[in-house]
Amino acid sequence: MALGSGFVAYFGRSCFACSVSHRRPAVGPGYDSCARVAGVEITVDSADLRTRLTEADLPDEAAEALSARLDDSRANPTSVARAIGLPWTPGQARPLATAPVQNALESEHLAPPHAVAAVVEHVTAQDARASAARTSHAPLRLLCLHGPNGVGKTAVARSIARALDRPCEVIDLAQLATAEEVWRRDGQPGALMGAVERAQSADAVVVLAGIDRAAERWGAQASTLLARLTDPHRRANVVDPFFGVSFDLSRLLLVVTCRWTQSLATDDLSRLDCAEFPGFLIDQKAQLARQTLIPAALADHGLAPDALTFDGNAILVLIRSYTDEAGVAHFDELLRRVVRRSLVAGTLRGGDQGVVASEDLFDLAGRPPVPERPDRRAQRRGQTAALVVDERGGRHGDVMAVLMPGLGHALVPGLGRISMLDSNGANVSAELAVVTAAIRSRLSDLDVSARFMQEFDMQVHVPASRLAGDSGSIGLAVSIAIVSLGRDRPVDPELAATGSLSVNGRVEPTSGVAAKMLAAHRAGVRRVLLPRGNERDLDDLPPRIHDDITFIPVDDIAQALHVALR
């Protein structure tokens, strides 16, 4: 039962005599207590609480503990009342139907097949364990939905809950100062038991949003939190100090979300069943706009579903010229802006909103912030397209190298006397040292003169990666740009590269392949060089990407240069 007026009706009568400054009298048999719950002043009668406790279907241990607290004059009867109201009785057992979960992920979120399979597998395994007659002592596992900002990870969790006919509660870990607030907070339940109380279900879906950002702030506390959540004994005996009784959370479907799993410790990853949502293709964004985003925006503004329509070209222009993201968060904001401004214009015209065409977007959405795509037919020396990852997902950027008279030094903007242009300078510097060492050790093999490496300085600009452990993914692109200058040969303008380089010129596997390939597709890249060790990651990409991009796996820098240099 929800707290507030319903809580008053269930546990006691409204107290109109007291004010905010009312002092609670001593508590014990025969006393009433006045308190405020959810902003509503209530009176909790101890005798009534005993009656409720007797009638409630609580475990014997919990009933005894709460009865003892009612005899304690220092105990808070409001917390006892709320403890009695917790969902002690498990929900009615029903056969698990995974088809609704799969259909919701595929139709509502256009989830990739490997993510759908991971979610269905986790839900099935968790239900089988919860329904088993014997208690398992093996560690529990959590479902982890990971992907860039704006791909709808929390919305996916809510859809899973609806498909399973369970309530869903979200705990934003960014709002918690420490990991301990998941379990306990001053004067109120901890975040986890608070979510269970709101959901009024012991088998609800509870989302812990932003575990990677929490790990950055909390350090080892985040690992301790995950260890505790996956310990079957501790999950079955959670004691929140506010309620003061042990509660079984074994049946909760706990979901954590993060931007990328590379920022989590190896031990943490072993506790997670991961499903990746790397982003959407352009046509998928258009489909989501038509079936979900636009109807929701119209409904939120009090408009009928047919009050405003977007022609297909207008939607594509918004996607291509106004956004550059893997998800649809900014795209959704743009659609809502267009709806609001169309509503104003329609009101001035007498309420006829009509159709939004592409030529209307300048007035309705403003000047396009995304620059036009560069002419990929232009052949340039010392410039290579690279693929990296940041908070928005995969990103396409250019590595640019220029020569100047000097002593054979390689310089990265942001280090030493040069103005700051790269926010990941230290890692880039280390990668650049590896790249130059690999080139210097194989001058004749790579057809680069020793004079080039000795009598000229190079300044290299690189796109910065924000993906933990991925700073080296620019190594292959940097080596192509440098050798392009050394040979005085242009780079294939329709090619992009990702992958790190070892000191002997081997091309090493990289991270975030799915997100990077989506970025390449958005940028119109036709060919991608990538490490052969990542070739298996291509199996999870949508068929449309395979149709539009030729992937060229390489093992060695010489192979990459043979493909990249014209």
pLDDT number for residue 554: 96
pLDDT number for residue 86: 94
Q: Which domains does the chain have, with CATH numbers?
A: 5-84 (no CATH), 99-276 (3.40.50.300), 289-365 (1.10.8.60), 383-564 (3.30.230.10)
The two beta strands, 253-258 and 142-146, are parallel
H or E segment and range at residue 534: none
Q: Are 253 and 201 in contact (CB under 8 A)?
A: no
pLDDT number for residue 28: 36
Beta bridge partners of 551: 528
Helices 46-55 and 60-70, axial angle in degrees (round to 10): 170
**Distance between CA atoms of 467 and 309, rounded to whole angstroms?**
38
173 to 178, 211, 314: CA distances (angstroms): 9, 7, 37
Under DSSP, the state recorded for 475 is H
Angle of CA points 101, 104, 107, to nearest 5°: 145
Name which of 354, 366, 272, 386 is nearest 317 in CA terms. 366
pLDDT number for residue 331: 95
CA-based diameter of the chain, in Å? 97
Provide the token pair at 30.
Answer: 């025969």
The two beta strands, 495-497 and 383-390, are parallel
Q: Mean pLDDT in each 10-residue stretch from start to end of the chain (566 residues)?
A: 37 33 35 42 67 87 89 82 90 80 95 96 92 82 95 96 96 96 95 96 96 92 96 94 93 94 89 96 95 94 88 92 91 94 74 80 85 60 89 86 77 42 48 82 87 79 68 85 91 92 91 92 94 94 95 95 90
The H helix count followed by the E strand count for the chain is 24, 22
**Distance between CA atoms of 281 and 1, rounded to whole angstroms?**
43
Beta bridge partners of 461: 400
Name which of 113, 117, 116, 109 is nearest 153 in CA terms. 109
pLDDT number for residue 428: 57
319: left (phi over 0), alpha (psi -120 to 50) or beta: alpha
Got the DSSP string for 47-64?
Answer: HHHHHHHHHS---HHHHH
**Distance between CA atoms of 18 and 42, rounded to whole angstroms?**
9
Under DSSP, the state recorded for 357 is -
pTM: 0.84
Q: Are 226 and 234 in contact (CB under 8 A)?
A: no
Task: Return the exposure string of 19-56: e unless at least 16 CB atoms fall within 10 Å of the residue's CB, then b.
Answer: eeeeeeeebeeeebbbbebeeebbbbbbebbbebbeeb
> Tens digit of pLDDT for each residue in 45-75?
777 888 888 888 888 899 998 988 888 877 7
Provide the token pair at 384.
Answer: 């290579």
pLDDT number for residue 93: 66
pLDDT number for residue 414: 44
Phi, psi (deg, nearest 5) at residue 214: -65, -40
**Distance between CA atoms of 299 and 302, rounded to whole angstroms?**
5
